Structure 1
């Protein structure tokens, strides 16, 4: 073993002997310290015996370690060996601790968008199509070229989602002050979108506060209810609804819509009182012409069956069977109708009627049903409203025939007011398939 007092000069002059892969220069001041030289590298190493096994630990490169510091480190490591501690394990633990700190620092600096994506994936199976689309809309990056005509003064590119600025911040920075400042800004520009984004953000932060990986960063109280009440405009109850005297004009212009699928969709939405996506999501397998029943995917109960009334049946019979969807659309990626509002708004404008949303047609059904003195519980059951009274929950089990009696009355009254002749009872004939 080549041992002599190591000095900076000796380290500089140290060369690798020919035909060897490595060489050592052992120190006399710190007997367990050596300079190890390999091809293109010189480093301080520590070597000792623990449980009759050789223990060697690289301290560091001679260019980054001072000689005295390397001697001190060698003495410290020998003290550990004397205590029965393996310095290699201590080094691994130290490196792991440094790596853990680095990972933790990166996690805390990561944008909340990463947690947002994890949240969406965790909840995707429990959400409906529209709820999932809302989350994607409020967090979208924006900046894409507009595919439709833009309004005057509007940018050529799409705006980012309302939550995007917040989600680009680290999760721990999304506190009450940050949310309030964001909400004040968004409420001025797009209050409805801001209200939706605020509700989704509150649910997201609640989810994060229940997860061990995000709990220490999430501010559960960042979206207190009072904040929305203070910063957002007061939400007024919507009352768009077709009145009795408006029925003739509405039916006349809706039935003139060139697209028969959209025309049928709007009429059936009014005559069933179903929700927008409930109607759009009807499949042919849900329609039972023999027993005059219609199965609808209910967002509250999962599924409900309502009567297939004569006029609705006649509208369905006339529709083309292109695929599994009743309201099919060859142009849509999903294969079914996606946006009926444009044609509906055109029909309303042509008829000189005030604005009525698609949901307003549902509201219209509930309102018009009162003209035939239909029991409130019957119309609510047809529409898929969750029972509110104890009697409705536990003491009313209405058979489909009873619902059909009232539903047929409602439909007949609406058609009579609209000046439309009622169809024959059997609307099964005339079914046709289109390839």
Structure 2
């Protein structure tokens, strides 16, 4: 093939014949360098041989590349890249037995990796946190997932339920949000320690946050995309710097039972009133009772199937008064669901037409108002569960029976391995507990299980 010394003029004048797909003008100075012209485009190329095989590499557009390299005189910075120096570099790679195409791919990959690493180094850890939730959420309970979302929320959302007097009307950012807005590499032991100093006023929440954060960092350390940025020991031994949380002891006392029932039964919403009484008389956790479905209520054999957050589910007796309360909710089974505008039968005993879950979610407002009207001290919904366990001691009920009804894991060896109480045995004690509590409340218990509140002297 004919060769000419390439010049700017010859390159500019060279065109592809109309009857050919491409044409080449080869340089006489640098072996393998040529201008390739196609219809509407021209570029410098290099062609050589590696291991007996021909290879061709495109250097670049003739409008971008010059034949020779031009640099800034003072700084030495390349102003215009040169095709001839680039062709010589490519030939040098071939002389070393390296394929220029593979070298280019390696350089490109390294450049992409460097830019990605720089991007990740400046990306908030919140992005990895969201990826972590997405990857692990299928193995978590709804409560555990909600904890992760609540602790990382942005804040500023309007509080719709459970707002107490004096509280702001908007939600605060999640407790972990300040840390998760930092890059992963910046979540160090010092950063976590400084954050903990600001969270010491709520030790229980901070302890949970440290636990969740530590698990998240360990997950990141096992992921190749985060491994080089994360400090997996950032949370190690941090909980010891927090004050120990104070155990809550709110509990309904014997002399307060009558007043509590009197005002709870006056709550205008029968679903809320029934729900609160069932919490006290079963010792169930608030979410376990809220999610109770009609299919879990056996009115024939008088049992309740509780969806236990620890054991999966447990069967407890359906005592006479609780049965009468639940049976009275049947007319309220038809509620307006969110799925469409049609009236549908709710599967939940304590149904709600406004909550996204379909069941009662926020009875605390009504409960707190009832406590205020009764002049009783503050009592949480979990305090009702605590009250059941405490009041059960008045009938000298075995601790193991109470624990089984409430869904506590057995602690003693005998309880773990040698006690398998039947539902009938649980029923004997559970009915005694209920009967005693109702007696303190002044609620008449008739043989035909028609239970009503005694007329108070105030009435």
Instruction: Normalising by structure 1, report the TM-score.
Output: 0.87
Instruction: Give the Cα–Cα distance (whole angstroms) in 1 for the partners of residues 190 and 66 of structure 2.
Output: 47
Instruction: Give the Cα–Cα distance (whole angstroms) in 1 for the partners of residues 149 and 428 of structure 2.
Output: 43
Q: In terms of mean alpha carbon deviation, does 361-370 or 415-424 score higher?
A: 415-424
**How far has the Cα of 1:329 moved from its partner?**
0.9
1:241 and 2:240 are equivalent in the alignment = no
Residue deviations 1:91-125 (CA, integer Å, cap 9, x gap): 33332333333334334433222221122122222
Residue deviations 1:105-160 (CA, integer Å, cap 9, x gap): 33443322222112212222232222222211111122345557796694x65432
Instruction: Give the Cα–Cα distance (whole angstroms) in 2 for the partners of residues 212 and 50 of structure 1.
Output: 36
SS in 2 for 1:29: coil
Indicate which of 313, 325, 336 corresponds to 2:359. Answer: 336
In structure 2, do the counterparts of structure 1 residues 366 and 113 end up closer, same or farther at CA, with 3 Å as the change threshold?
same
Q: In terms of mean alpha carbon deviation, does 193-202 or 303-312 score higher?
A: 193-202
Instruction: Give the Cα–Cα distance (whole angstroms) in 2 for the partners of residues 240 and 393 of structure 1.
Output: 29
In structure 2, do the counterparts of structure 1 residues 44 and 425 end up closer, same or farther at CA, with 3 Å as the change threshold?
farther
1:159 and 2:172 are equivalent in the alignment = yes
Indicate which of 427, 430, 435 corresponds to 1:404. Answer: 427
Equivalence for 1:308: 318
Equivalence for 1:47: 47
Equivalence for 2:261: 251
Equivalence for 1:35: 35
In structure 2, do the counterparts of structure 1 residues 423 and 205 end up closer, same or farther at CA, with 3 Å as the change threshold?
farther
Equivalence for 2:211: 199
Indicate which of 374, 378, 392 corresponds to 1:355. Answer: 378
**How far has the Cα of 1:175 moved from its partner?**
1.2
Equivalence for 1:285: 295
**How far has the Cα of 1:14 moved from its partner?**
4.1
Equivalence for 2:68: 67
**How far has the Cα of 1:192 moved from its partner?**
5.5
In structure 2, do the counterparts of structure 1 residues 133 and 61 end up closer, same or farther at CA, with 3 Å as the change threshold?
same
Aligned residues of 1:310 and 1:425 also touching (Cα < 8 A)? no
Equivalence for 1:135: 148
Bigger helix share = 1
**How far has the Cα of 1:2 moved from its partner?**
5.2
CA RMSD across the alignment: 2.8
Equivalence for 1:229: 240
Indicate which of 355, 365, 381 corresponds to 2:404. Answer: 381
Instruction: Give the Cα–Cα distance (whole angstroms) in 1 for the partners of residues 52 and 356 of structure 2.
Output: 72
Which structure has the higher relative contact order (CA within 8 Å, separation 6+)?
Answer: 1
Instruction: Give the Cα–Cα distance (whole angstroms) in 2 for the partners of residues 363 and 235 of structure 1.
Output: 18
Aligned residues of 1:11 and 1:35 also touching (Cα < 8 A)? no
Instruction: Give the Cα–Cα distance (whole angstroms) in 1 for the partners of residues 57 and 386 of structure 2.
Output: 78
Unpaired segments of 5 or more residues in structure 1? 428-435
Instruction: Give the Cα–Cα distance (whole angstroms) in 1 for the partners of residues 303 and 167 of structure 2.
Output: 50
In structure 2, do the counterparts of structure 1 residues 334 and 146 end up closer, same or farther at CA, with 3 Å as the change threshold?
closer
Equivalence for 2:418: 395
Q: In terms of mean alpha carbon deviation, does 399-408 or 122-131 score higher?
A: 122-131
**How far has the Cα of 1:193 moved from its partner?**
4.5
In structure 2, do the counterparts of structure 1 residues 294 and 144 end up closer, same or farther at CA, with 3 Å as the change threshold?
closer
**How far has the Cα of 1:248 moved from its partner?**
0.6
Instruction: Normalising by structure 2, report the TM-score.
Output: 0.83
Residue deviations 1:182-201 (CA, integer Å, cap 9, x gap): 2333446x665544433322
Equivalence for 1:103: 116
Indicate which of 201, 208, 211 corresponds to 2:223. Answer: 211
Aligned residues of 2:65 and 2:83 also touching (Cα < 8 A)? no
In structure 2, do the counterparts of structure 1 residues 403 and 11 end up closer, same or farther at CA, with 3 Å as the change threshold?
farther
Number of equivalences: 422
Equivalence for 2:15: 16
Unpaired segments of 5 or more residues in structure 2? 70-81, 335-345, 451-459
Aligned residues of 1:2 and 1:24 also touching (Cα < 8 A)? no
Instruction: Give the Cα–Cα distance (whole angstroms) in 2 for the partners of residues 151 and 421 of structure 1.
Output: 37
Aligned residues of 1:310 and 1:423 also touching (Cα < 8 A)? no
Aligned residues of 2:251 and 2:384 also touching (Cα < 8 A)? yes
Instruction: Give the Cα–Cα distance (whole angstroms) in 2 for the partners of residues 376 and 212 of structure 1.
Output: 50
